[in-house]
Amino acid sequence: MKIQCTTKKGGSVQINKRHGVWASYAVAGIADKQPDEILYSGATLPNGRQVQFFLNRETGLIVVDVMTPDGRGGNEILRIDANAVTLPAKAA
């Protein structure tokens, strides 16, 4: 694991360079708005495409994208509000 960046508001790491696996965590805000906590990570597939995962801890938004090998395009394959997901009832 290689730490690429670390600050008071987050950081990024390269988890596996050979496989293109990385993660980034940041606290970011705009003006007077309460800052959001963002987790962003991804991995490169053998065909060069990259799968990227985004989570906003404050809003519960989860997004998964599959990007082209050159990173200039891709498809969003999942966008969901984790706070609105109905979970199965806990067994008694």
Mean of pLDDT values over 44-68: 94
- Report percent pLDDT > 90 for the chain: 46
Q: Is the dihedral of CA 11, 14, 20, 22 positive or negative?
A: negative
In a domain, 14, yes or no: yes
Number of folded domains in the chain? Answer: 1
Residue 33 belongs to some domain of the structure: yes
Identify the pLDDT of residue 25.
Answer: 85
pTM for the predicted model, two decimal places? 0.77
Q: Does 72 map to a domain?
A: yes
- Map residue 8 onto helix, strand or coil: coil
Q: Is residue 19 part of a domain?
A: yes
Mean pLDDT, residues 30-49 taken together: 85
Query: What is the Cα–Cα distance from 49 to 73, expressed in whole angstroms?
Result: 10
- Would you say residue 53 lies in a domain? yes
> Residue 27 is part of which domain span?
2-84
Q: What is the CA radius of gyration of the chain?
A: 16
